[in-house]
Structure 1
């Protein structure tokens, strides 16, 4: 009962502060609002960015090991050593496919460069040639939008049939259905048997085939010297069988590739084994730094806001000194006076925090209009954190003024 009266009185006093001293209260709460905006805004943006990037990178598979020339972990001191390494090639792929008992899928691809496609009088430049083995669709769950994927016989025989990325197909054919149409690439005729689904609007898209010209390895090897590691080297990907630990998979890969490349026992690996977890660790550190920056910027603003709110509370205590004396003379205990001023401070800070959250919602809505591929959202958890943080600031800002009010001598207070 007493608590409800205290809260009601505090609400009334806080409302009077807002109405009676609009400018002073607004400027005081501005620090709280900006602080909450910086902290919650940065947390929301970083979390949305992390979800976007992590979701995009997850397409690479957390149970896949990528054999490459370069490690995904940055190590500039060893750049020259990595530069001298040979690229993985089709021989590495064949060795792994024949000997990997712990792998469910082994795939290889290389990107020899850009090519020009022609269909009748139309031509499109800038499409990149993506030479791949047959397993690519199962490795990355590639979705064929129209048409179909290669058959095993088409891959084995290296027939002149290709798949096109969605953007490339639209630019070349427009409203015409590209399936079974004949196109020319470097003077060779190819039949289009399928187009891939759009890659989407993710901020980072590691599997963006929108501008790709997909050709089988057996076909491309007829007109490109793919045995040249340094010029046409690519990447080998190995997907683990269900239940196989990644460490065991890496050990098996390392042993087979070293044997294929005839490395001596004391020689170091001339290849890198990369996993999605490597990028996840690096990104985790990066996002952690962004969160710290947000807390630092917001923290300074909140400190300034807390000092301003404390100033409001000191002024409020001074203006109501005689009233405090009357209340204590009539029997009001110290904790009642303490709760009254403390609750008023908390309410003021929560109002500032809510303004900050409203600013987050408004700014993110504007950003989302201009960045459709990167949507920032304010989660309920962060909204609750903002309100709780505002309340904590209110407690800290109002504690000393509330203690001064609670400890006043009733006689001295009524005289002033």
Structure 2
């Protein structure tokens, strides 16, 4: 009897493997022979060859952007050039360890009333920087970028290089400590920022919205804390000697993030938990909003299990259908109502208030591949690659009608899309 059961089990396994093999071969063929994917990868390499600023609409090199295309830049630039950009961020590091948002050549830094306040440092002769103070992802982005640089080039000696009186490794930890010392909510055991939309860098108050003001409303959110978690993981992998302190911080932060921000009943992240009251009227239920970008980064940080990831993906797909948007790069759904943000570009489905950004959508694709949702990744990636082909470029974001807008050479989109395709191809080639 045992022999018969064993034979039946073997037959079932063979049948199952045969079916999976057939599906895998079809999927493999579709992915590896996809002409849009080949076009997008070629175009991405062309775009990234042309510089390090965010895109043709920007003069600065921003760390939150550079972090998302440094790996692609490593395909076309010598490591010394990649490393020099990282050095500039460290040379302009603040006295408290904070990291600037972006840098620009000094001769191009124009002082305009109400514009950027430029930051200078004797360590940096060529560039000056500026910091968008409503955001809390600059420090985490730089640590992640250094990690990607080291992983891509194998240049671990960079961590020992001295900039001023500190090594790169020490400066990385100093940047992380800035968040603990100056952006930490003791009540929640999480880092705080200003009230922005999902991963956005425009707060609810002020016509521009990039600097903390007396009207700022502080909160903890999923994007900033997930970025910090990823940075801690990167730091520990680069320097295991830091396990003691940072492992404890990481574990507590992950636990607190899920405790305060995960809505288990609705299977989604709460947009904001406020430290000093919400800026929005009581009649507005902010928790109806589902944040696509922050959820994708939370998955990258390892906060959600496979079941939760699948539920999140299904919600994203439903949101795309309900909104009429082009892809799961949709920032959020529903968007904040008209007038929620003083910045005129933050109208419903505008810019970071419901605009469709491949820059984050493709990060969700990467995580789908990582967690084994290959078929779903392939399906949801195609709208993003198709519009690159149709519009012959990597646009910053897309409208509710899937029309391209913003910078037409947005390198962050090129970087994350290239990586998503590469991960998908590598997965099916296994």
| TM-score, with structure 2 as normaliser | 0.21
Q: Which is richer in strand?
A: 1
> With structure 1 as the length reference, what TM-score do the two structures score?
0.22
